[in-house]
Each structure stands twice: as C-alpha cells, then as structure tokens.
Amino acid sequence: DSGVTQTPKHLITATGQRVTLRCSPRSGDLSVYWYQQSLDQGLQFLIQYYNGEERAKGNILERFSAQQVPDLHSELNLSSLELGDSALYFCASSVEASGAVYEQYFGPGTRLTVT
C-alpha cells in the first residue's frame, strides 16, 4: 500500500459527460501528479500540483482540468468525454522539495470507461 488513495476505482459514463476523479496524497507529500495510461499512448504525464499551485503541465487536453485544495487532496476533472478518453488514470504524490528529485508514489488508479 503506497498511502495514496484514489476514488472511485471504476467509472463508466457516456460520451459528452463530465466526471471528477479524486486523489489523496501520502501524508506529508506536497506534490500531486496525474497520469493517464492507455494501450495506445502508454503512461503519460498530465499535470502536477505543488502545495496548491500548478507546477508543470504535460499532455493534458483543454477539456481536462485539475486542482489541489488546501488539504492537499486533488481532483482531476474530465469534460466532454470521448471514447478515446477511456483509460486508467493514476495519481501520484511526492515530497518534491526544490533542488532535488524525489520518487513518486502511485495510487491504485481509476479505470474510466466511456461508452
């Protein structure tokens, strides 16, 4: 158990809908990262938040957005869903102090199926 929790575990929704994925980082970790894992694209970095502020952006679509609230848990919002958005979405957290690279600890993921 990594200490990172994600809800829900599975989500099935229709095209055009909007969903919110939630993540609680490990206790003490200030950085939260979101990744998308699909068969055709592999594991892709979406976005990072550090202590409530956006820190880095990867291959995140404009239809997707994220936030990190004061208690440091994070939400990934996916809107106008398309079939191609079906994937496993992972949240990870790390200490992420400046001046060093820290390993990231991954949650169990949310499997999103868009029908």
Partner 1 sequence: AQSVTQLDSHVSVSEGTPVLLRCNYSSSYSPSLFWYVQHPNKGLQLLLKYTSAATLVKGINGFEAEFKKSETSFHLTKPSAHMSDAAEYFCVVSDYSAGTASKLTFGTGTRLQVTL
Q: H or E segment at 54?
A: strand 53-57
Decide if residue 113 touches partner 1 (CB under 8 A).
no
Question: Residue 46: enclosing H or E segment and its boundaries?
Answer: strand 42-50
Smallest distance, partner 1 to C-beta of residue 58, A: 7
The tokens for 60 are: 């995140």
Binding window for partner 1 (CB under 8 A); candidates: 19-27, 64-72, 77-85, 100-108: 100-108
Could you give the CA distance from residue 14 to residue 115 in angstroms, rounded to a whole number?
Answer: 5
45 binds partner 1 (CB under 8 A): yes
| Residue from 24, 36, 48, 74 binding partner 1 (CB under 8 A) | 48
Which of residues 50 and 64 has its CB atom nearest to partner 1 in the complex?
A: 50
From the list 70, 87, 84, 103, the residue with the least C-alpha distance to 21 is 87
Of 81 and 109, which CB lies nearer to partner 1 in the complex structure? 109
Query: Considering only CA atoms, which of 44, 24, 25 is closest in space to residue 89?
Result: 44
Q: Which of residues 57-96 bind partner 1 (CB under 8 A)?
A: 58, 90, 92, 96
Q: Which amino acid would we find at residue 49?
A: Y
Judged by the rule CB under 8 A, the positions of this chain that interact with partner 1 are: 2, 4, 33, 42-45, 48, 50, 55-56, 58, 90, 92, 96, 99-109
